[in-house]
Structure 1
Amino acid sequence: MLPSPRPACTSSWSPRPRASLGIISPWNSPIVLTVRPIGPALGAGCTVVVKSPGQTALTNA
């Protein structure tokens, strides 16, 4: 709840994602190149969808 300039009213605000980000990880460096764009996207309020490569099953576990 947010304070309202009018005495008898209340205001509310709820964050909504602005966009979605799709990340397709490469097989040669899946962790570094996947984690780098996730922080700024989540900080901006975006949703993140990650597709990990099938060739790196031990890293994805």
Structure 2
Amino acid sequence: MSASVAGIASQNRVGAGVGFQNGESALSVGYQRAISPRATVTVGGALSGDDSSIGVGAGFGW
């Protein structure tokens, strides 16, 4: 999912993804904000059946 919005040059980005494997399905959603010209903060989550997850990340470039 994060790769789908990585090339978008704007301050705020939203991405979503759906996946299927062995009869199971999953949905993921993420939000990314550029906090400077060289840094981003990302928050995302995923749901699959009774399972869920959440993640937070940061990215830096030079």
For Structure 1 versus Structure 2, the TM-score category normalised by the shorter chain is: under 0.3
> Per residue, is there more helix in 1 or in 2?
1
